[in-house]
Amino acid sequence: MVFLYQYFKRAKSCSRFRGVASYGYCASKNENYFGFEGHLLLDMRGIVAGFSLTPAHESERETAWELLEGIHGGLLLGDKGYLGHFFKQQLLHLKGIELQTPVRNNMKDSLSKQQRKQLNRVRRRVETTIGQLAERFNIEKTRARTVWSLTNHLTRKLLSHSIAVFANIQHGIEPLTLEKTVLA
């Protein structure tokens, strides 16, 4: 099982990335922003398996095909940006991947309450990973001046997080309990 989620990088009124970054809208925070959108592919333990940085206006669904390259079959959890019957059918037909997303309030849920509860518990792990990247590794804010240095900073932060999670796994500690990480 892998997860596909997006998070946002803000760079309000930044002239450094004009022509590369773009304007987007964050529905959860109800705000417009100028910058990039990061897309994460995580495994069950919270280790980053894939990452893509796109201008804010680009479609999450187009980026998903890039992240899922080389993956065939399985269950994929995504956020509400990946809702859509046609997209789910394409993933299932072309790659054998079953996509599960949360439902909106006005939608009928095809899963039982128990199944939805179990998926939400797994989704919490994803939200924990994104929270750690934002709070501990400050991934939403970088002082990069070029696209190259931006991707370099992001890569180092993602690698640091993955090493900490992997070290916890090796020492028998809960993978996402980073305050107990032992690097020896």
User: Considering the chain, what is the average pLDDT of its residues?
Assistant: 81
Please say if the pLDDT value at position 9 is more than 70: no
- Cβ 51 vs Cβ 40: under 8 Å: yes
177 pLDDT band (50/70/90 cuts)?
Answer: confident
Range of the domain at 97: 2-141
Structure tokens at 170: 């090796």
Q: Please write the tens of the pLDDT for every residue from 88-105.
A: 999 999 999 988 888 777
Residue 124: helix, strand or coil by DSSP? helix
Residue 147 belongs to a domain: no
Q: Please write the tens of the pLDDT for every residue from 96-153.
A: 998 888 877 777 777 788 888 888 888 888 888 888 888 888 888 777 878 888 889 9
Instruction: Quote the pLDDT of residue 156.
Output: 92
Residue 167 belongs to a domain: no
Q: Residue 66's domain is classified under what CATH number?
A: 3.30.420
Residue 45 belongs to a domain: yes
Please say if the pLDDT value at position 11 is more than 80: no
Instruction: Quote the pLDDT of residue 159.
Output: 92
Residue 21 belongs to a domain: yes
Instruction: Quote the pLDDT of residue 82.
Output: 83
Instruction: Quote the pLDDT of residue 96.
Output: 92
If one counts the domains in the chain, the total is 1
Ramachandran category for residue 110: left, alpha or beta (phi over 0 → left; psi -120 to 50 → alpha): alpha
- Cβ 36 vs Cβ 57: under 8 Å: no
Residue 161 belongs to a domain: no
Instruction: Quote the pLDDT of residue 93.
Output: 92
Average pLDDT for residues 14-39, to the nearest whole number?
Answer: 76
